[in-house]
Amino acid sequence: MDINNSVALVTGANRGLGRAFTQRLLERGARKVYATARRPETVDLPGVEVLPLDIADPVSVRAAAEAAADVSLLINNAGISTGTDLVTGPLNAVRHELETNLFGHLGMIREFAPSLAGNGGGAIVNVLSAMSWFGSKGGNAYHLSKAAAWAMTNGVRLELAEQGTLVTAVHLGLADTDMAAGWPVDKIAPSDLADAALDGVEAGSAEVLADQWSRDVKSRLPLSPEEFSAAMDRALAELMAT
């Protein structure tokens, strides 16, 4: 797929990674970019078509799909992290992360799949995380939601292959956004993450490992659970010591 002359829709386009995706799409020649946000008035990039969208609200998702029926590239970026653990944290917070990070993305795919098929197949980018593969105290609800979203991404890739829709999973460690502001470690620039993802789409890639952290974590998956946990403990300790 060629980004130039594409029609893209970005969720959570008002800040962070979503804003970077939107800006790079414009700079790379997208014909039209729908910039969506729960509060559309917070989208500040010129040259976009702004749409209100709450991905956790099926009515809002359906309205966006009807308003943007010409989309050929869907960027599922919007997400949340509540800092919740699974056993001791509030169950409604766990459900909220799943509703947004899993069912929100799946709802977008279900509503936009017919339009993508009608527009030649196109592509979907699901912004996931290296935390699709590991848990961390204080972030296990996020881990659960991203692990489930990874499995969902692999499933819809198989289901949409017949209609010619590319589904690209994008994994990263930490990006230099508000969500990661409290982590004093090296982070990928949002524009670099957006470029890596869009390069992957143009290359027809099913998966983009956008930084060294995500590549390192995935390389450990063949280890036993005990070995994996010990390796991640060492890696996290080294990360915080840098």
Catalytic residue set: 142
The full 3-state SS of the chain, as one line of letters, equals CCCCCCEEEECCCCCHHHHHHHHHHHHCCCCEEEEEECCHHHCCCCCCEEEECCCCCHHHHHHHHHHCCCCCEEEECCCCCCCCCCCCCCHHHHHHHHHHHHHHHHHHHHHHHHHHHHCCCCEEEEECCHHHCCCCCCCHHHHHHHHHHHHHHHHHHHHHHHHCCEEEEEECCCECCHHHCCCCCCCECHHHHHHHHHHHHHHCCCEEECCHHHHHHHHCCCCCHHHHHHHHHHHHHHHHHC
